[in-house]
Amino acid sequence: MNFIIIGGDAAGMSAASRAKRTDPNLEVIVLEQTQDVSYSACGMPYNIADPVRPIDDLVVRKAEVFRQKQGIDLRVGYRVEAIDPSRRTVSGTGVDGRPFVLAYDRLLIATGARPAIPDVPGIDSDGVVALKNLDDGRRIKALLRGRNADRVVILGMGYIALEMAEALRSRGIAVSLVKPRPGLLPWMAPELSAVVGEELAANGVVRHDGHRLERIEARGERLRVVGDRLDLTADMVLAAVGVVPNSEMAAAAGLALGPGQAVAVDRGLQTSVPDIYAAGDCADAFHVVTGQRVYIPLALRANRAGWAAADNVCGRRAEVDGVAGTAVFKVFNLEVARTGLTVDEAAAAGFDPVSVAVTTSSRAHAHPGAGKIHVHLVGDRSSGRLLGAQMVGTEGAAHRINAAAVALHARMTVDAFAQTDLSYAPPFGPVWDPLLTAANQLLKKI
């Protein structure tokens, strides 16, 4: 039996390695259109912050290692262009533009996602970039170096936009953030979003939210970003407005799609077509709080889904519980974290949401080095169930959010969560952990 995998990043290579370990006799073929596999995409903003450090430092394992040590038939420079479920084949263009057709017994689609690009005139100008893969990182570092850039406009205010704002400011580059809707982080509680906004301003990042982008004009090696009440000049424009799943090929093959046009899969990563699986940023998932299908592309899910798909291909039944949307990112001196539902998401899912926001100390009273930590919790008035959490602070938010994520996976009530035995020592937190303080306040509202 052979197992063909389309895509050689997180989900694809996790699946390939797992399948080969489970069944060394299985023929595993990975088709990757770029020259890069198994790299830390999440580390790219931090690498770009260092003008000297090579982007290839982010490569975790090179292609030849998979071939030589694990016996995986990894083919780079192979672009799959069509899937034919009736003939059980994939076809496309290989090295030097040569066409190929390969038959499969089992197939995994791990085609990932691509940056969403605003549809405005001039978006294809030289100097307008996005950041998703290593080639993007190489291009950005070369562009900043070649143009001796001192001013960048970032389109968007999400995770990548804010991480890149910090990276560029660390290099002394002026940064302006632009988005059409007002507000910094629409999914975040206003009290916490305001704290992030203050941190950006304190570090010289200029926000232009509520300004609709109209066009980008090339002016030699500089760019002019024009919009509603907006006229900015930049050496580079970074599009960071989100991602869209690479699911068009799957749809053309007749596979069902889910939220966000991602490939729909069951809990065992099986698509709507027998013997075809999908995993990673191209596929949907089930939310652990609502049980509904969602599209939340994150790294841990991609790797875990790759494992589960491989187990099922090898005859070892595996399912993944789902996702809570747990995410954390750094904005200068702040840790910003979330898990579960926002108030609006909870209401849309049919809950009766109640929320609370508290601000407390990250360490025990009078312990040196303490900072503020802001906690926002969401619960359901009817059932008492914990639905979501958000945290912002100079320390302690990034790992504390995991306690809330575990509570969501366990379907805990706010009352039960408020009774958990969390750790205490003065250098790390007050006796009443900030999460417990927030849970007790939320209980009063419930």
Q: Which residues are catalytic?
A: 42
At 236 the three-state DSSP class reads strand
Residue 63, CB half-sphere, CA atoms under 13 Å: how many?
A: 16
Tokens of 297: 């592309």
User: Residue 52: what residue type?
Assistant: V
Q: Sign (positive/negative) of CA torsion 378, 386, 303, 82?
A: negative
Tokens of 252: 């053309």
d(CA 110, CA 285): 14
Closest CA to 192 of 333, 445, 362, 373: 373
Annotate 333-351 with DSSP letters as a single string: TEEEEEEE--HHHHHHTT-
**3-state percent breakdown (helix, strand, coil) of the chain, nearest 5:** 30, 30, 40
102-112 burial code (b ≥16 CB/10 A, e <16): bebebbbbbbb
CB 212 within 8 A of CB 179: no
d(CA 78, CA 12): 14
- CA distance readout (Å), 127 to 293, 321, 328, 422: 37, 42, 29, 49
Tokens of 432: 């009443």
d(CA 221, CA 344): 43
CB 116 within 8 A of CB 225: no
